[in-house]
Amino acid sequence: AVSTADFIGRVATVFRGTASSGKPAEAKLTDIHGKTHYVLVEPDDAQQVLSEGSEVVLVRREGPVFRAIVRLKPVQ
């Protein structure tokens, strides 16, 4: 079994809606066992917007909503 606390630090993809401060969107992530989970996300920075398709890192949880930051892509 996986706890939602284990989701912190995981990468999720926003797949339904656009998340802004106070307006969560749905995101999906895969746990260490390969199972898909669906969570609500809002940007950790109130000035950011998380658009559909954005890859985000879950940084903390506040009630049913996870706060997230945009995942930076490695420079190649």
Please tell me the predicted confidence (pLDDT) of residue 2: 84
Closest by CA position to 66, among listed 31, 37, 41, 48: 41
The pTM of the full predicted model, rounded to 2 decimals, is 0.90
Q: Which alpha helices (H) appear in 1-76, and where do they start and end?
A: none
- pLDDT recorded at residue 1: 76
Task: Give the model's pLDDT for residue 48.
Answer: 95
pLDDT the model gives residue 21: 95
What are the average pLDDT values for consecutive 10-residue runs of the chain, which has 76 residues? Answer: 90 97 97 95 96 96 96 76
